[in-house]
């Protein structure tokens, strides 16, 4: 059973994934080639994955058989385990929790295509629908506080060697540190200004235009003002909303469009870079009486997507300090991305 | 002039190093070879670096000439600039500060040796003396709040291609986020327990032995209980002390010994991995009356060194979430390191 452990000083929870343990010499990723025949995520290979949890399928098709557009399956090597109850305990001064959670893989296309940027907008919108469906479903499980939806593209971003386009989600019994910090920060801003900090950011970015990469269909894509990394791009809905999963069908298509455009721009500008995508949305809110679940629409948080291209080994001491050095201005990066033909 | 920018939501300061800007295509590090003839850090090449700020030299030798053991010079491509005053201002909702600071390089040996693990203990102790001297000297500058001492070893850790063993320091007008979090966390612990969290950690680790890598001469080296990365090792003085720079000459030699042993173990165990070292110590304390500077010995903070081997691209979404997954238990890692012959 994996274990959640809390840093006793700064309070960050980490997953110690004991069942994935490898001998020290085995930390380099195996260098096997990516071939379509060996890919377990292609249509027709459904027997090579665990049973599907959710899928968008053609009418009349059967679960775990061909005929799907997008498909969600449990991870074969999960970071966290679904079975069991949350057992918080101390180990001397340290805090520990059993590694309860869910770890799922969203297969974004039946075809052997690597980069989500190369899928149709409508196909990307179906991926968004998968994220939302799983988010809502996992929210019904009272043990979970958060669902982390993310995507690693390219080996340098932590992806495996099989290139078939997919994203992942982890449902956790704790709120990730970065999300908690954002919640606290945006609440403080709201308390002072009585306005959402992200709404203010959207307005200011639209007005100044300096960091705008795209602005259409209810979304903006901007390079972050205090970028940690070159070409760090945030996608935000222009209208206030804390809850990603409340997005309607039409908006999902618009988001698919924006994601395709931004990721294609990055692909062209940076020569198909590795990247990470992380969805930031409000944690599940729970009724204290345990009469069910609901998420409230908060005034002080605003969901968004962060895209971080992984360009070379720019990161050194940043890991240990939280102090980042970005070697290119976000304004130059935005201008470059605006000019790139997608 | 570089610029310090603050993330408006979570309050993290980053350096936007505009003068280091490169065109997007130029982000991959140039692949020139490391050769002794081309190394600007070897003895005899003193004219290829800026003028030295501090050096440990043989008696009778001249600054910027041969005859040194360790040598500190300003960075040729500094992240921050020493000249100017701190100018905090807003840019709409964003906070900005001029990029004032110091960025120095500590050359750890006159010989062309890459890994500090391969230096003599006494030589490593001289590096520690350089860190301390520069820390104390930069502390006299009222503009600076913190001196970040760190080391990138290997290209995967963000080091350049010239392998000559060296560390760096950055003096900053802000406290790095991670350090601030530690200060707040350890203060909270102290308020509740009236004990230093790091002292408690030292005692518990010595008692349990599970994560001990080394324990001698007043220091312990342990794998972190809530490790973010495989083989993340912390070195802590057993005796309480918040201020690294108060360390006496004898202790510096002991620290040199411990660093050599731990880094040699990592080198052997993990096949000469890239790594980052970061020194965590208390920020400068200022007298309000501006009558000079002093650092007080705080009860609630405890200096230490963090070593993070960079093993493959294990990190994916961790960047964006602050949520880490460590694929090996710290206990297994510690056992392995204990058994390795250094």
DSSP output for A109-129 = -SS----GGGS-HHHHHHHHH
Return residues 27-66 of A near B (CB < 8 Å).
Answer: 27-29
Chain B residue closest to A9 (CA)?
B185
Provide mean pLDDT across the span A180-191. Answer: 92
Least Cα separation, residue A111 to chain B (angstroms): 24
Cβ proximity of B137 and B120 under 8 Å: no
Instruction: Give the strand order in the sheet containing B88-91.
Output: A324-326, B13-16, B3-6, B94-98, B88-91
CA terminus-to-terminus distance, chain A: 45
Helix (H, G, I), strand (E, B) or coil at B254: helix
Give CA separation, A70 vs A58, A127, A133, A200, A329, in Å.
Answer: 10, 7, 12, 36, 37
The pLDDT of residue B156 is 81
The pLDDT of residue B285 is 76
Least Cα separation, residue B275 to chain A (angstroms): 9
The answer to whether residue A324 scores a pLDDT higher than 90 is: no
The answer to whether residue A262 scores a pLDDT higher than 70 is: yes
Chain A residue closest to B326 (CA)?
A16
Task: Name which of B27, B204, B271 is nearest A311 (Cβ-Cβ).
Answer: B27
Whether B122 and chain A come into contact, CB under 8 Å, resolves to no
Q: How far apart, in whole angstroms, are the C-alpha atoms of residue B249 and residue A35?
A: 59
* pLDDT single digits (tens) A212-221: 999 999 999 9
Domain assignment of residue A333, given as a range: 3-339
Alpha helix positions (H), chain B: 121-139, 177-193, 197-208, 249-269, 318-321, 330-339
Least Cα separation, residue B32 to chain A (angstroms): 15
Task: Name which of A12, A18, A157 is nearest B322 (Cβ-Cβ).
Answer: A12
Helix (H, G, I), strand (E, B) or coil at B17: coil
Cβ proximity of A181 and A197 under 8 Å: no
The pLDDT of residue A29 is 47
The answer to whether the Cβ–Cβ distance between A158 and B15 falls below 8 Å is no
* pLDDT single digits (tens) A32-79: 567 788 899 999 999 999 999 999 999 999 999 999 999 999 999 888
Task: Name which of B225, B276, B333 is nearest A320 (Cβ-Cβ).
Answer: B276
The answer to whether residue A31 scores a pLDDT higher than 60 is: no
Chain A residue closest to B174 (CA)?
A323
Residues of B in contact with A25 (CB under 8 A): 270-271
Which of B171, B185, B205 has its CA nearest to residue B81? B171
Q: Give the CA radius of gyration of chain B.
A: 20
Weakly modelled stretches of chain B, pLDDT under 70: 19-33, 286-297, 312-317, 319-320
Provide mean pLDDT across the span A258-271. Answer: 96
Higher pLDDT: A278 or A17? It is A278
The answer to whether the Cβ–Cβ distance between B308 and A327 falls below 8 Å is no
Cβ proximity of B117 and B263 under 8 Å: yes
Sequence-separated (6 or more) residues with CB below 8 Å from residue B323: A13, A14, A15, A148, A170, A172, A176, A177, A178, B317
* pLDDT single digits (tens) B41-94: 999 999 999 999 999 999 999 999 999 999 999 999 888 889 888 889 999 999
Q: What's the sign of the alpha-carbon dihedral A115, A116, A118, A123?
A: positive
Mutation for B interface: A20, A27, A232, A332, most B CBs within 10 A? A27
Is A51 annotated as contributing to ligand binding?
A: no
Give me the CATH number covering residue A14. 3.30.428.10
| Count of structural domains, chain A | 1
The pLDDT of residue A295 is 45
The answer to whether residue A313 scores a pLDDT higher than 60 is: no
The answer to whether residue A147 scores a pLDDT higher than 50 is: yes
Chain B residue closest to A328 (CA)?
B21
The answer to whether the Cβ–Cβ distance between A179 and B321 falls below 8 Å is yes
> What six digits make up the tokens of A224?
């972050």
The pLDDT of residue B151 is 94
DSSP B25: G
Q: How far apart, in whole angstroms, are the C-alpha atoms of residue B227 and residue A217?
A: 43
């Amino acid at each position: 059973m994996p274990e959640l452990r809390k840093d006793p000083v700064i309070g960050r929870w980490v997953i110690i994934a004991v069942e994935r343990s490898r001998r020290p010499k085995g930390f380099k990723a195996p260098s096997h080639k990516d071939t379509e025949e060996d890919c377990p995520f292609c249509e027709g290979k459904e027997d090579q994955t665990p049973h599907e949890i959710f899928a968008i399928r053609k009418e009349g098709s059967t679960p775990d058989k061909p005929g799907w557009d997008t498909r969600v399956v449990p991870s074969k090597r999960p970071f966290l385990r679904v079975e069991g109850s949350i057992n918080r305990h101390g180990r001397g001064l340290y805090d520990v929790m059993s590694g309860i959670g869910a770890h799922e893989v969203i297969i974004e296309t039946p075809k052997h295509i690597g980069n989500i940027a190369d899928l149709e907008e409508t196909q990307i919108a179906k991926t968004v629908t998968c994220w939302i469906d799983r988010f809502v479903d996992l929210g019904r499980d009272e043990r979970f506080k958060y669902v982390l939806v993310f995507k690693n593209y390219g080996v340098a971003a932590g992806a495996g060697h099989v290139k078939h386009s997919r994203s992942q989600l982890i449902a956790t019994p704790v709120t990730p540190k970065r999300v908690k910090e954002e919640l606290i920060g945006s609440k403080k801003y709201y308390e002072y200004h009585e306005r959402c900090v992200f709404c203010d950011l959207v307005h200011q970015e639209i007005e100044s235009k300096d960091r705008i990469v795209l602005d259409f269909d209810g979304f903006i894509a901007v390079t972050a003002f205090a970028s940690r990394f070159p070409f760090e791009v945030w996608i935000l809905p222009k209208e206030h909303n804390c809850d990603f999963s409340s997005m309607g069908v039409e908006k999902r298509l618009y988001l698919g469009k924006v994601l395709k455009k931004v990721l294609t721009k990055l692909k062209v500008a940076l020569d198909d870079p590795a990247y990470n995508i992380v969805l930031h949305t409000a944690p599940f809110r729970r009724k204290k009486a345990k009469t069910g679940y609901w998420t409230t629409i908060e005034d002080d948080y605003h969901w968004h997507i962060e895209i971080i291209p992984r360009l070379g080994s720019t990161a050194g001491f940043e890991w240990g300090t939280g102090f980042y050095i970005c070697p290119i201005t976000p304004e130059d990066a935005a201008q470059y991305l605006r000019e790139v033909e997608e």
